[in-house]
Amino acid sequence: MGILDRLFGGRFTMPPPEETNLSASAIMKELRPGPTDPARKKALEAFTQGLLAVVPEKEGARLVRRVMRRYAMGDDACGALTDGLLEGSKPQKLEHLVLMSVDWKAFDVFEYQAPCLVSANGLKEPYVYVRNGASSMPEVLAEFDRWLIRFDKRYLHLDSGSDNYDGFIVDADRVEETIELAGRAGIKVSLENF
């Protein structure tokens, strides 16, 4: 303030900032959003655990904690799920890939991740992607879903609100149950891409 005072010839005066007697934890409570809906929180945890059921128990528990921590910090359910599994310093491991995320033109990423996703879901037959020049990513994902039907599996699309195509594999007989549970958690999931 002294520099500004001298710069403006003494015409720059400002009252001192107001002091607060709130503790640091009280300030953090004010900055965080309101309490989360317990039913939605429970549904998100159940959905995440169901998604990670194919992952070894210790790794699955770690990822569930990451997702729930993101949700507790104020992320919406879908953001907590995608950020918890895909972002940060310790996301899901490639050998335990359950949520795949590919850009609209990242055919090479799909070619690399799809076999890992298939393997992590317990399918013994490897998936081999052959790119034909005319296919768009939605067409590629639809073809991938048709390939999975032979093994009583389906590829569900997750509406993350980003430009990426996010999705995961579920058993064909659990599609409706998974969509309903995701809806209770506040996440849009469908057999059709978004």
User: 85 vs 42, 64, 71, 105, CA distance in Å?
Assistant: 18, 9, 12, 22
Lowest mean pLDDT among 5-9, 67-71, 95-99: 5-9
Q: Is the Cβ–Cβ distance between 147 and 175 less than 8 Å? A: no
Q: What is the mean pLDDT of residues 1-27?
A: 67
Q: Is the Cβ–Cβ distance between 149 and 156 less than 8 Å? A: no
Write the pLDDT tens digit of every residue in 144-183: 999 999 999 999 999 998 889 999 999 999 999 999 999 9
- Predicted confidence at residue 194, as pLDDT, reads 79
More reliable by pLDDT, 193 or 175: 175
Write the pLDDT tens digit of every residue in 103-128: 988 899 999 999 999 999 999 999 99
Count the neighbouring beta carbons within 10 Å of the beta carbon of residue 134: 6
